[in-house]
Amino acid sequence: MKRLAKNLIFALAVFSCVVVSRSFAAESRKIVFAYSSIGSMATGVWMAKDSGAFDKYGIPADIIFISSGPVVVQALIGGDLQGGSGASNAVINAVLNGAPIVAIGGTANRPYHRLFVQSEINRIEDLKGKILGVTRFGSITDNLTRILLRKYGLENSVNVRQMGGTLEVAAAFQNRQIAGAVTGDLRVTPPSQPKILLQLIDLGIPYSMNMLTVSREMLKRDPDTAEKIVRAYSEGVAFMNQNKERALKIIAKYAHMTDPKQTEVHYRDSVTYLDRIPRAEPEAVQTILEFMGKKGVAPETFQDNSIIDKLNREGFFDKLYKKS
């Protein structure tokens, strides 16, 4: 009789575990989340994946690299992605052209880019008549380059040429086809010796870098998953801030870095610029709108900060950093 009772208790325990496991499985929803650069603005996504934050919230994620912002937008609209971190200007431009997407968060509200120049360039005025490389016209690098040139009155004195991507910009610099580039990181090898002429953050210009974006249909139909994306991303950023050694390994993995010095720079930029509360600030969005000649358009046209504001009121972000 005692053995029967023990067997019954064991069977009930196993059954309970199975039911609980199935319950969690039923609540889980696998998502595909894209990021559009391998720079510091993608670091939070990598951390959310490899720290287990996506899994923790029941949205196990496949994260994929898509180098084109417009392609990320099309994938969101088509339902191939449940979320994406893409250049803010690409998201804004897409919405202006009727794309039914919305930003539910932002990675950073300050530009982390630098103006890298050839060794013989000593002043920004030395760029007159020379060529600066950007990835693509309309990209973040293009926007920031033109904002910089406009600030110094050089927009009609410096040629801007699109190269295709960050690797192509670096190759053009290496081959001395361009005098410089506005970018976050310029990966070249000796004898090329780029120097940083200035850092755009020193200009004091707010600028929305990347936006955490979903389709408007998803936000309306499944706001719970949208909130989980914000929670997981935010925990990824907190993990990065609190676990440097593990974060360095994750950065090296996704950014394909073998040089510890480069990995350290990437980590330092990520910690410095990624916002702990990933809110796309209206004034940072406004800089992009003004540059595009759309000053009268309200930032709320592109973003919905309701999830961020809700989590902030609940003390979610304070709890993430209470130990740091």
Mapping DSSP onto H, E and C, the string for 114-137 reads EEEECCCCCCHHHHCCCEEEECCC
Asked if pLDDT for residue 15 goes beyond 90, the answer is no
Q: How many residues does the chain have?
A: 324
The highest-level CATH class for domain 29-110+207-320 is: alpha beta
Amino acid at 263: T
Amino acid at 232: A
* CATH number of 114-203, picked from 3.20.20.70, 3.30.70.2190, 3.50.50.60, 3.40.190.10: 3.40.190.10
Asked if pLDDT for residue 298 goes beyond 80, the answer is yes
- Give the model's pLDDT for residue 308: 96
304 token code pair: 């919905």
Pairing mode of beta strands 159-162, 83-87: unpaired
pLDDT, tens digit (0-9, with 9 covering 90-100), for 260-296: 999 999 999 999 999 999 998 989 999 999 888 888 8
Asked if pLDDT for residue 176 goes beyond 60, the answer is yes
pLDDT, tens digit (0-9, with 9 covering 90-100), for 51-90: 999 999 999 999 999 877 778 888 998 889 999 998 898 8
Instruction: Give me the mean pLDDT over the 168-177 stretch.
Output: 95
The CB-based long-range contact list for 294-302 (8 Å cut-off, 24+ gap) reads 294/96, 297/96, 301/95, 302/91, 302/92, 302/95, 302/102, 302/103, 302/211
Residues of the chain with CATH 3.40.190.10: 29-110+207-320, 114-203
DSSP one-letter code for 295: T
pLDDT, tens digit (0-9, with 9 covering 90-100), for 216-262: 999 999 999 999 999 999 999 999 999 999 999 999 999 999 999 99
Q: How confident is the model at residue 27 (pLDDT cuts 50, 70, 90)?
A: low
CA distance 208 to 221: 27
pTM of the shown model: 0.85
